[in-house]
A and B are shown apart, each in its own frame.
Chain A
Amino acid sequence: MNVQLSSEELDNEDIDKIIEISGANLFACYQCGKCTAGCPTSEFMDIPPHEVIRLLQFGQIEEILCKNTLWICASCITCAVRCPKGVDLSKIMEALRQIFLRKNVNYVHPNEVPNEELQTLPQIALIANFRKFTH
């Protein structure tokens, strides 16, 4: 798919929010891939952690929100510890989850989650789901 880049595209509100929430400088990332290489859960993700940043650099936030990556992330902060450029990717992941949740789509009542799914859902997804009730 072609990506049309322009300053408007890059400057979108959600990106600003991510920067605000995470405190990360998205441009500092030079795509070395060390975060992905060290991430214990990256093999289960639709797109690897470093690509999350790349897409954010391009302003392509929608493309990230529809992927499972942010829910698979275990917030273990391995990436943040190892990043040579001081980019805290775990905070960016959290920021992405916040943004997604605040959009309030896919509202799910915890009591209505079928039992068998409860067994397989990633923890972080469940916790995030509960968080919807708290704000």
Chain B
Amino acid sequence: MKNPEHMNRIGVFVCHCGINIASIVDIEAVTKEISKYPGVEFIKDYQYMCSEPGQMIFKEACRSGQIDGIVVASCSPTLHETTFRRASIEAGMNPYRVEIANIREQCSWVHHDEEEKATEKAIDIMKSVIERSRRNESLTEVSLQTIKKVLVIGAGISGMQVALNIANSGVETFLLDRQPSIGGRMAQLSETFPTLDCSQCILTPRMVEVGQNKNITLMTYSEVEEVSGYVGNFNVKIRRKAAYVDWDKCTGCGICYQKCPKTVPSEFEQLIGKRKAIYTPFPQAVPNKVVIDNNNCLYFKTGKCRLCEKACPLGAIDFEQKERIEEIEVGAIVVATGYDLYEKEKIEEYKMGYCEDVLDGLTFERLLSSSGPTQGKLVRPSDGTVPKEIVFIQCVGSRDPDNHLPYCSRICCMYTAKHTMLYKHRVPDGQPYVFYMDIRSGGKNYEEFVQRAIEEDNVLYIRGRVARLYREDDKVVVVGADTLSGKTIVIRADMVVLAMAMRPSGGIEELSKKLKIQVDGNGFLSEAHPKLRPVETLTQGVFVAGCAQAPKDITDTVSQAGAAASKVLELLSNEKLLHDPITSWIDEELCAGCGQCVSQCSYNAIQLDEKKRKAFINEILCQGCGACIVTCPSGAAQQKNFTIKQYYSMIESLV
């Protein structure tokens, strides 16, 4: 890059900001002094530069052709830099020739009791900004074409909702899940708080809607292999796992799995129900296609069987099928990979009590579900008897910074209350007990829901953590304390349900690396800003939704999914993406190819050309943070309009 020509016709505007500046800084003295400064062609002060009349003065001066650089001495650039840059565009000047000298926050406000010194400082600030400004380049925003297609990773309720919102706006969407069916965890739930809607009944129609939407391409039983490119132009390689079934032919009639002789525990049923080696996870699966689990299939293990192949009337079974890589191009990616439960094996002090009748929450959901292994009959997996004394333990693994996870999983208070209610509906003469630390029921109608469980269903809430479980005959003895009465409580339970902490889905680390997005200390995906940018990541064009970001219930998941979809649509609504041109650039002659900058860039904007041994900056990805500049030992990395030369000249003007 050439050295920019120095501008020597600077226009300076001094704002009084009412009395904010003018009551401390002597505007007249400032104007007089600065008007004498070399290169200052024009100077004007006004009460409120940002007001309509103020901007009129500003624009008039721009249009006069008298000046080629501008310094506005006023408040912080975060407030009105954009205002004046916009005004300069309207007046036909390059906006990057406008600079702000902050004489309010950094001068009049902090020196309100030393007027003389404040005036001197204001002059110094302005001089230095004039020096910087005269070396500014005229820059133009970088623009790039966007691909109007979206990839959604994870097809739980959050991913489905994102895909539906985007597809219904006419944008082509790929919805990917590593499971054979969409639906995620919600498909496993029995009834949902706080309304006790049957989960399947509200989810299945949505699944069908997704399956039939002409703008949604389902890519189930698939995983993300590799991601390259950047916002607006991602290239994603997807591994389509081998189902050993030709899905174009399969109609999901199910004859094959009726014939399959090999039965194994079903993951969808949390291992308390069974499936075959050829299966769909659940009868309402979308797409309704079967897959062969080659780890359990007799043919794959022993070379003999192929009964499904004989049974299939459509000849869809294909033992020769191989996994394949499919490539797609998309403009934006949404990650909605959801959650897993913390493993109960990690709770050492409970292990003595573990047996088939100590379940985690999701397993209990399957036991309650009318489509579950017991058709919703609440019985003990061990002996089929109805549990009369049932203990629920909250915060298992959660809120335990010393041994397990520090955070609150946020939904277990609610689903535990739901579990107690659903239990009482099935076993009216049974007694539920809940060990809790706090009841966190912040949500519309949530507290009322919990109170209803307690009051109407006589659920006994005991305030304390359980210290120990052990077995005695066919019972599980639960030992906890009630800190409200100071008593140690012992319950001989028929069944124990553990509200295990929620964790990000397995594989999130690798996926986040592929996508170049960050995870927080607990492994959940990091949002760009916890309050103001909750569905964006720091990597432009990649968004998050649902439990992949943090534990949340269905209501919040769906809301967040809507937010993510609207952010994607906002991004893709522009034909071209414009990008701030204040980016870094590498002076090739100085670059030694050490690559230190590459590792420092949080936005993956720098690549090292191994052959040339030079670093290159992708202007589209560069956010102008300056990390590379301070890292580069050769001084090759520079930022536009923030060059080292500019800084030196600013310093020189002050000493």
Seen from chain A, the residues whose Cβ lies within 8 Å of a Cβ on chain B are 1-7, 10, 25, 27-28, 30-31, 51, 54-55, 57-58
Contacts and interface: CB of A to CB of B under 8 A. Distances in A.
B488 A31 contact: no
A7 B388 contact: yes
Interface in B457-488: 458-463, 482, 484-485, 487-488
B489 interface: yes
A30 B448 CA distance: 13
B484 A54 contact: yes
20 contacts: A1-B488, A2-B487, A3-B482, A3-B487, A3-B489, A4-B492, A5-B490, A6-B431, A7-B429, A7-B430, A27-B455, A28-B451, A28-B455, A30-B461, A51-B485, A57-B460, A58-B460, A58-B485, A58-B487, A58-B489
Q: Main secondary structure on chain A at its contact with chain B?
A: mixed
Contacts of A51: 484-485
A51 B484 CA distance: 8
Interface in B229-280: none
A36 to B, nearest CB: 12
Nearest to A25: B455
B455 A6 contact: no
A28 B460 CA distance: 10
Interface residues of B, number: 24
A13 B487 CA distance: 23
A6 B489 contact: no
Contacts of B388: 7
A23 to B, nearest CB: 14
Interface string B426-466: 00011101000000000000000001001100111111000
B591 interface: no
A55 B485 contact: yes
A101 to B, nearest CB: 25
Interface string B484-521: 11011111100000000000000000000000000000
B461 to A, nearest CB: 8
Given A2-B490, A3-B487, 9 more contacts: A2-B488, A4-B492, A5-B491, A7-B388, A27-B458, A28-B454, A28-B455, A31-B484, A55-B485
A31 B485 CA distance: 10
Contacts of B459: 27
Nearest to A11: B431
B329 interface: no
A27 B459 CA distance: 8
